[in-house]
Structure 1
């Protein structure tokens, strides 16, 4: 039975509990093969004068690379779920189920570049940048744990879900490689497949094949009558990853009853 109607509690992950939470995720991956992801980062410091939908894939990648190379990841939200939409209940018999929010320490508001409106938005939703610097996770260590847990890489069987996830995966590839993104889009796509496999579902791309769906994640969720499982969402990485998982499942169940949604796997929005 699906626990999708249960309230989801977000497990905050810091440097002190990183290993314990990744061990738990590693064990859970045997049962939960889908992982929805969302990230928070300091906005966009490079922008195109033209709307994104008018950019070629190469132009979009050049813009993405410029931003990702010069900015730092702040949060990563992960929601694990199975084919039926069940999230881990961690032995609570369905009383609660859980998702994860990883807090990274790399971004220093005192010295790094950022878009003020993005940082103000995160602050207004409770993000404490001083605590991030003091108790957050080093991105290099986070990348090592991603690989060791088999969330990513050749030993992974995970199917990823995202909403307009080019930047999410761009930042993860940057920290996994420990260097700027490759110059060529084709090389980026090869890294994307190497780390995250070919079964990657971008809701923003898939909804083009669903009549009446448009806009951002919250707008699409409202159109589908998806109610956030965390109650009042805080617009941070953890709650956004939960909403992405719920929206994907509702879209899949409503529009892909007789058509395999896997025909749209591996297509990132903007590429």
Structure 2
């Protein structure tokens, strides 16, 4: 029986409980092979004069690289689920379900660049940037734990779900490599395949094949009558839950007779992996 109508609690991860939570996630991956991801970062300091959807893939990647190379990741949200849409209940027999939110320490509001409107928005939604910088997780250590847990890399069998996820994956590849993103989009796409495989689903891209769906994650969720089960909005953990819920609703509503897997590897803005 699916537990996806249960209350979802977000497990907040800091430097002090990083290893414990990653050990738990590693143990769960055999049963929960789908992972929905969302990230929070300090906005966009480079923008195109044209809307992103009018940019060619190469133009979009130049913009993505410029932003990701010059900004720092703030939060990563992960929601694990199985083929039937069940989330981990951690022994509560379906009474509660759990997702994860990793708080990173790299961003320093006093010295790093950011888009003021984005930081003001995050601040108004409860982000304490001093607390993050003091008690958050070093991104290099977070990257090591991602690989060791087999969430990413050659030993992983995870299938990823995101909403307009080019930037989510861009920031993760940056910290996994410990260096700026490649100059060429084709090299970035190879890294994307290496770390995350070819079985990734970008809801923003899948929406193109679903009549009547447009806009951002929250707008699409409202159109589908999806009510967030992830608690506090506008944070990476809750948004990863909403991305999972929206993907599941789209799969169940629009892909009853057609396998959604035909759209695996389509990353919004970057075209198909292969």
The reply to whether TM is greater than 0.5 is yes
Q: Distance in 2 between matches of 1:43 and 1:178?
A: 21
The alpha carbon displacement at 1:54 in A equals 1.5
Query: Which segments of structure 1 move beyond 2 Å, counting only runs of 4 or more?
Result: none
Does structure 1 residue 109 correspond to structure 2 residue 104?
A: no
Say whether the 8 Å CA contact 2:230–2:239 is kept in structure 1.
no
Say whether the 8 Å CA contact 2:8–2:230 is kept in structure 1.
yes
- Counterpart residue number, 2:208: 208
Q: Distance in 1 between matches of 2:180 and 2:248?
A: 34
Does structure 1 residue 188 correspond to structure 2 residue 163?
A: no
- Counterpart residue number, 1:252: 251
Q: Distance in 1 between matches of 2:106 and 2:233?
A: 22
- Counterpart residue number, 1:156: 156
- Counterpart residue number, 1:118: 118
TM-score (norm: length of structure 2): 0.98
Q: Distance in 1 between matches of 2:5 and 2:140?
A: 36
TM-score (norm: length of structure 1): 0.99
Give CA deviations for 1:128-159 in whole Å, capped at 9, x if unaligned. 10110110000000000000000000000000
Q: Distance in 2 between matches of 1:117 and 1:75?
A: 17
The alpha carbon displacement at 1:53 in A equals 1.5
SS at match of 1:91: coil
- Counterpart residue number, 2:54: 54
The alpha carbon displacement at 1:95 in A equals 1.1
Quote the RMSD (CA, aligned, Å): 0.6
| 1:79-158 correspondence runs (5 A) | 79-158=79-158
The alpha carbon displacement at 1:93 in A equals 1.0
Q: Distance in 2 between matches of 1:207 and 1:83?
A: 20
- Counterpart residue number, 1:178: 178
- Counterpart residue number, 1:76: 76
Q: Distance in 2 between matches of 1:19 and 1:208?
A: 39
Q: Distance in 1 between matches of 2:31 and 2:125?
A: 32
Q: Distance in 2 between matches of 1:85 and 1:255?
A: 16
- Counterpart residue number, 2:265: 266
Give structure 1 stretches of 5+ with no counterpart. Answer: none
The alpha carbon displacement at 1:189 in A equals 0.2
What is the count of residue pairs matched by the alignment?
Answer: 270
SS at match of 1:8: strand
SS at match of 1:161: strand
Give CA deviations for 1:46-91 in whole Å, capped at 9, x if unaligned. 0001111211100000000000000000000000000111000001
| 1:217-232 correspondence runs (5 A) | 217-231=217-231
Q: Distance in 1 between matches of 2:62 and 2:107?
A: 22
